[in-house]
Amino acid sequence: MEPILQVSHLSKTQILQDISLQLASGEMLGIMGPSGSGKSTLLYNIAGLDQPSQGEVWLGDVDVARLSEDQKASLRLHDMGFVFQQMNMMANLNLLDNITAPAKWANSQKSGKRKAELENKAKALMKKLSISGLENRSITEVSGGQLQRACICRSLINDPKILFADEPTGALNQRAAKEVMIELSKLHQEGTSILLVTHDSKVASQCDRILYLLDGQIQGELKLKKMMDPKEREEQVNAWLRSMGW
């Protein structure tokens, strides 16, 4: 399948060394590794949040690493979606406004029709992620799981080419983490390309492929079979991790 993302010889001084990887369209790629291995740094460098010291990051036909700050910002706004461990929602806006915010920033048109369309789209996403009815709640009035699902809605509002998820379940309890992963899996099955950083083997077992990072270098790769039972997939991931010295 055509790669949507292609990373070649990416380095970041003292953290990442000569990383090359590909993400196929509709693929869900997991990056695992112990703390300090550089997995989040890798994600941020790929997403244009940080500047690599060497290497290329191609998203479609654009080399992200060569763009100016403002061009990167525009790319993130229009073509990328983000799900953070700490959610990072704006305290002064309710859930609906938080979700629609990137779309409003991306489109300067301010017609009432456009606003209604956006709200409908956001509500549809909320319904899809099972958080309907929370539109007017403030971010302190919902649970962690609900908030993270709202973050996923926000990341999808501009129909991104790729979704970046940095430890999306890291700040959630087990139940909420499970709910969030179900939603990410659904998105993946619908064809969304996802690059996900995690240290949780249960989360990683949902991916098509996992890369193991250690001391800023890719040490190994695991391809998971599609039809495998979730339990079996998790065991396979754990076994592989043990073999990598986890």
Q: Which of 13, 53, 88, 189 binds another protein (CB under 8 A)?
A: 88
Task: Give the whole-angstrom CA distance, residue 48 versus residue 63.
Answer: 10
> Which residue's structure tokens are 């993270």?
148
Task: Give the whole-angstrom CA distance, residue 7 versus residue 181.
Answer: 26
Count, residues near another protein per rule CB under 8 A: 30
Of 23, 15, 81, residue with least CA distance to 47:
81
Q: Which of 28, 82, 147, 194 binds another protein (CB under 8 A)?
A: 82
Terminal-to-terminal C-alpha distance of the chain:
31
Q: In whole angstroms, how close is the CB of 160 to another protein at the nearest point?
A: 10
78 binds another protein (CB under 8 A): yes
Contact stretch for another protein (CB under 8 A) within 86-94, 176-184, 207-215, 222-230: 86-94
Residues in 46-65 that interact with another protein by CB under 8 A: 49-50
28-32 vs 209-214, strand pairing mode: parallel
Q: Which of 17, 67, 97, 217 binds another protein (CB under 8 A)?
A: 97
Q: Among residues 74 and 217, whose Cβ is nearest to another protein? A: 74
How many CB atoms are closer than 10 A to CB 116?
10
- φ, ψ at 202 (rounded to 5°): -65, -45
> Which residue's structure tokens are 């990383």?
19
Residues in 153-172 that interact with another protein by CB under 8 A: 154
Q: Which of 77, 171, 182, 244 binds another protein (CB under 8 A)?
A: 77
- Residues of this chain that interact with another protein (CB under 8 A) are 44, 49-50, 69-70, 72-78, 80, 82, 84, 86, 88-93, 97, 100-102, 104-106, 154
